[in-house]
Structure 1
Amino acid sequence: YFMDIRQMIDFHLKKGADVTVATIPFPIAECRRFGVVAVKEDWQVLEFQEKVPNPKPIPGNPQEGLVSMGNYIFNTEVLLEELEIDAADLNSSHDFGKDILPRICNTRLVFAYDFRQNKVPGIEGQNVYWRDVGTIAAYYEANIDLKNPLPKLNLYNPQWPVRSVKYHDPPAKVVIDAQGRIGHLENSLIAGGSIVSGGWVRDSIIGRNVFVSSGAVVEDSIIIGNVIIEEGAQVRRAIIDEGNVIGQGEQIGYDLNKDAERFYLDPDLEIVVVRKKIENRTL
Structure 2
Amino acid sequence: MINNKVLAIILGGGQGSRLYPLTKDRSKPAVPIAGKYRLVDIPISNCINCDIKRMYVLTQFNSASLNRHIKNTYHFSFFSTAFVDVLAAEQTPQNKTWFQGTADAVRQSMHHFLRHEFDYFLILSGDQLYQMDYDKMIDAHEKSGAEISIATIPVTAKEATEFGILKSDDKHTITSFIEKPAAELLPEWTSEVSEDMKHQGRNYLASMGIYVFNRDLLTKLMENPDTNDFGKEIIPNAIDKHKTLSYQYEGYWTDIGNIDSFFEANIGLTDDIPKFDLYDKKKRIYTRARMLPTTKLSGTVVDKSVIAEGCIISAAKIEKSVIGIRSRIGDESTVINTYMMGSDKYETLEEIHRDKTEILIGIGQRCFIKNAIIDKNCRIGDDVKINGGKHLEDTETDMYLIKDGIVVIKKGATLPKKFTIQ
Partner of 1:121: none
Q: Percent of aligned pairs with the same residue?
A: 30
Q: Deviations over 1:72-93 (max 9, x none)?
A: 11111222222332xx11xx5x
> Judging changes above 3 Å, is the alpha-carbon distance between structure 1 residues 134 and 244 closer, same or farther for their aligned structure 2 residues?
same
SS, match of residue 220 in structure 1: strand
Partner of 2:48: none
Structure 2: which amino acid aligns with 1:137? D
Q: Is the 8 A contact 1:218 1:235 kept in 2?
A: yes
Q: Is the 8 A contact 1:172 1:195 kept in 2?
A: no
Give the alignment's TM-score, normalised by structure 2. Answer: 0.55
Paired with 1:63 and 1:183, the residues of 2 have a C-alpha distance of: 42
> Judging changes above 3 Å, is the alpha-carbon distance between structure 1 residues 13 and 257 closer, same or farther for their aligned structure 2 residues?
closer
> Judging changes above 3 Å, is the alpha-carbon distance between structure 1 residues 6 and 271 closer, same or farther for their aligned structure 2 residues?
same
* Count of paired positions: 255
Q: Which region of structure 1 is more displaced relative to structure 2, 232-241 or 193-202?
A: 193-202
> Judging changes above 3 Å, is the alpha-carbon distance between structure 1 residues 8 and 238 closer, same or farther for their aligned structure 2 residues?
same
Partner of 1:235: 369
> Judging changes above 3 Å, is the alpha-carbon distance between structure 1 residues 104 and 188 closer, same or farther for their aligned structure 2 residues?
same
Does structure 1 residue 191 correspond to structure 2 residue 313? no
Which residue, 379, 387, 390 being the options, matches 1:253?
387
> Judging changes above 3 Å, is the alpha-carbon distance between structure 1 residues 187 and 103 closer, same or farther for their aligned structure 2 residues?
same
Q: Is the 8 A contact 2:157 2:202 kept in 1?
A: yes
Within 5 Å, give how 1:115-134 maps onto structure 2. Answer: 115-116=249-250, 128-134=251-257
Paired with 2:211 and 2:202, the residues of 1 have a C-alpha distance of: 25
Partner of 1:143: 266
Which residue, 329, 332, 350 being the options, matches 1:212?
329
Paired with 1:167 and 1:133, the residues of 2 have a C-alpha distance of: 24
Q: Is the 8 A contact 1:174 1:184 kept in 2?
A: no
Give the alignment's TM-score, normalised by structure 1. Answer: 0.80
SS, match of residue 222 in structure 2: helix
Paired with 1:44 and 1:259, the residues of 2 have a C-alpha distance of: 44
Q: Deviations over 1:74-119 (max 9, x none)?
A: 111222222332xx11xx5x32212221221122221110113xxx
Paired with 1:140 and 1:78, the residues of 2 have a C-alpha distance of: 38
Q: Is the 8 A contact 2:155 2:205 kept in 1?
A: yes
Q: Which region of structure 1 is more displaced relative to structure 2, 56-65 or 185-194?
A: 56-65
Higher helix share: 2
Structure 2: which amino acid aligns with 1:11? A
Structure 2: which amino acid aligns with 1:69? M
Partner of 2:216: 77
Paired with 2:134 and 2:393, the residues of 1 have a C-alpha distance of: 47
Offset at 1:11?
Answer: 0.2
Question: Structure 2 unaligned runs (5+)?
Answer: 1-129, 344-360, 415-422
Q: Is the 8 A contact 2:176 2:239 kept in 1?
A: yes
Q: Is the 8 A contact 2:296 2:313 kept in 1?
A: yes
Partner of 2:150: 21
Within 5 Å, give how 1:39-188 maps onto structure 2. Answer: 39-53=168-182, 54-55=185-186, 56-58=189-191, 64-85=203-224, 88-89=225-226, 92=227, 94-116=228-250, 128-158=251-281, 160-176=282-298, 182-188=299-305
Q: Report the aligned-residue RMSD.
A: 2.6
> Judging changes above 3 Å, is the alpha-carbon distance between structure 1 residues 275 and 80 closer, same or farther for their aligned structure 2 residues?
farther
Paired with 1:63 and 1:4, the residues of 2 have a C-alpha distance of: 22
Paired with 2:338 and 2:154, the residues of 1 have a C-alpha distance of: 31
